[in-house]
Amino acid sequence: MGDEQVTITRCLTIMAISAALASCSAADGGRPPVNPAVAQLLGHEAELLKLTLTSAAETRLGIQTTLVEAGTAARFILVQGEVVAPGSSSSLPISAPADPVALAALQVRADGDVAKARADVALAQKAADRAAGLVQAEAGSERALDEAQATLAVATASLQAAQAQRALLGSSAAAAVRQDAVWVRVAVFATDLSRIDRSKVAQVRGLGAGDSSVTAQPVRAPDSANVAAGTIDLYFAIPNRGRVFQVGQRVAVDLPVSGSASGLMVPRTAIVIDIYGGEWVYVQSAPQAYERRRIEVAAIRGTYAMLARGLKPGDKIVTAGAAELFGSEFGAK
């Protein structure tokens, strides 16, 4: 009897657990658990609008197209430079002084040192000539002549030192801002120096000046570098008769790199840029039909841009009227 009671108790327990589970399942209605995150497919940039224009609309918008072709262009790297007053073979160029009054004072003092040294040389020269004349007339001593010549040598050395110190200070502070020709100092990382073709000209333009650039000729100046930054200074000369550049001004410089790059070239007028900085062109997919396509610009050379990706040779793109198509597309959405 004892074993039968144990068996009955176990059966009752299993039935109770089963009933409890069934009741819970009934309460949930048998629904699967809720997913905590739901992924919803949104529109892809491949799902763009195709614009189909009438002949009159094409004429009104001034649509012009051209075929995409491969081309080659000189290679450049874009760096920042500083306009400086020209130096000489013995002096470094002068940047815009932080304190022009202090620089002017140093230049005035150096000019005075040079004038005093010249006067000392002239006086010593007369004393040496007088001593030499007395020795020739057998009225003076050789020792006096030697002392006079030594004094002349010291005065000459002092004059040379004063002139060198003045040269290091550059042109006068007032004339530094009225240069008809200025230099541009470019700090280049030592690791990039071997890539730069120092025999070719560079292109210089003011920051925010757009496409307007000036050709800069490489010049040889005393070597200078920044050990802490690991950079070496290169110098380029540019004409400045119109006072376009000011000493101390920051400029953008395209430095020539050895070799050339090849790729697909498109006119810059064909490129439109969205509010996020994305670069696009409009491709004519059929007569009077245009589609927007994303591109990536690798380099800009004058009025053309070299592409890294986005198009293939033979694509027909819009070169005039791309901005109007861009506005028409988003106005239709």
Going by their DSSP bridges, the two strands 202-206 and 64-67 should be labelled as unpaired
- Residue 280: predicted pLDDT: 93
The total number of residues written for the chain in this structure: 333
Please give the pLDDT value at position 197: 84
CA angle 84, 85, 88 (to 5 degrees): 115
Burial 32-46 (b: 16+ CB within 10 A, else e): eeeeeeeeeeeeeee
User: What is the reported pLDDT for 114?
Assistant: 92
Query: Which residues lie closer than 8 Å to 74 by C-beta, 6 or more apart?
Result: 256, 257, 260, 261, 301
Burial of 186 (0-12, 13-18, 19+ CB in 10 A): buried
Positions of the chain with pLDDT under 70: 1-47, 88-101, 170-179, 208-211, 243, 332-333
Contact indicator for 82, 185 with CB cutoff of 8 Å: yes
